[in-house]
Amino acid sequence: MAKPQPRAAQKAGENARDIILAATRAEFAEQGFNGARVDRIAARSG
């Protein structure tokens, strides 16, 4: 069973997920399914 995370760590994880998802949406919107690349999503995420 997974160990519960402290609230601050959980919040930081949620923020990181939101940043990655926003970068992913932008990449797919601009490049389309066939043109989207993980390295560009990572660069957009910071």
Domain coordinates of the chain in residue numbers? 7-45
> For residue 39, which phi and psi values (nearest 5 degrees)?
-65, -35
Q: Quote the CA–CA distance of 46 and 32 in Å, as a whole number.
A: 21
What mean pLDDT, rounded, does the chain reach?
A: 90
Quick check: 5 pLDDT over 80? no
Q: Quote the CA–CA distance of 11 and 24 in Å, as a whole number.
A: 20
pLDDT, one tens digit per residue, over 16-38 is 999 999 999 999 999 999 999 99
Which pair of structure tokens corresponds to residue 15? 């923020």
Four-residue CA torsion sign, 4, 9, 14, 20: negative
Q: Quote the CA–CA distance of 37 and 7 in Å, as a whole number.
A: 32
Mean pLDDT of 2-21: 82
